[in-house]
Amino acid sequence: MKTLFFSALMLVAGLVWAEFDSALINDSSIKNIRQTDEYIFSSGQPSIVELQLLKQAGIKHIINLRPHDELMWDEQAAVESLGMQYHNLAIGDAGDINVANAEKLAALLAQVDGEAVLLHCASGNRVGALVAVISAKLQGNSVDEAMAEGQRWGLSGMAPVVREKLYRF
């Protein structure tokens, strides 16, 4: 009886592990992939093949910060055809890096809390920029702490603009 119980327990544990595989994501070729939390990843634009890999690894949500006119294919249709949920918050340029959009992103992240999510733009730069604003303006961190958090999520080339904005907000 104990053997049957432990076998069932191991089977359930194996199924839970099979549902989410962060190593598969971290070892992928997705541009600028970063694991920022247990179930949260940020990156550059994944391809259709990489979306399939994300589904296989257990990602439930894709949050795209790119405006629709930046893509040559229908990402929403591809994501939804794989059974994942698609969310879009169009951040076109530095002008869209503001507190209102940071609040929208924070609400999206809260909505998917506890489920595996990939948050992306073209390179990860806009992702990190908005996360820096969340960190400073919604969580009360210093500008330096917010910049470090943004860089952890992918902030790179927009860093000087974001730093300046954080001091002005």
What is the C-alpha to C-alpha distance for residues 126 and 153, in angstroms, rounded to an integer?
A: 9
Look at 32 and 13; give whichever has higher pLDDT: 32
Q: What is the pLDDT of residue 19?
A: 83
**3-state SS, residue 62:** strand
Q: How confident is residue 169, by pLDDT bands cut at 50, 70 and 90?
A: confident
Q: What is the pLDDT of residue 55?
A: 98
How confident is the model over 35-93, as pLDDT tens digits? 999 999 999 999 999 999 999 999 999 999 999 999 999 999 999 999 999 999 999 99
DSSP 92: -
Torsion sign over Cα 134, 20, 79, 33: positive
The beta strands (E) that lie in 44-132 are given as 61-64, 85-88, 117-120
Give the predicted TM-score (pTM) of the model: 0.88
Complete edge-to-edge strand list for the sheet that includes strand 85-88: 34-37, 40-43, 117-120, 61-64, 85-88
71 CB-side CA count, 13 A: 21
Q: Which helix (H) or strand (E) holds 7?
A: helix 2-19
How confident is the model over 29-41, as pLDDT tens digits? 999 999 999 999 9
End-to-end CA gap in the chain: 64
How confident is the model over 116-166, as pLDDT tens digits? 999 999 999 999 999 999 999 999 999 999 999 999 999 999 999 999 999
Domains of the chain plus CATH, in order, are: 21-168 (3.90.190.10)
- pLDDT over 90 at 12, yes or no: no
Contacts of residue 156, defined as CB under 8 A and 6 or more positions apart, other chains included, come to: 123, 124, 125, 128
Q: How confident is residue 17, by pLDDT bands cut at 50, 70 and 90?
A: very low
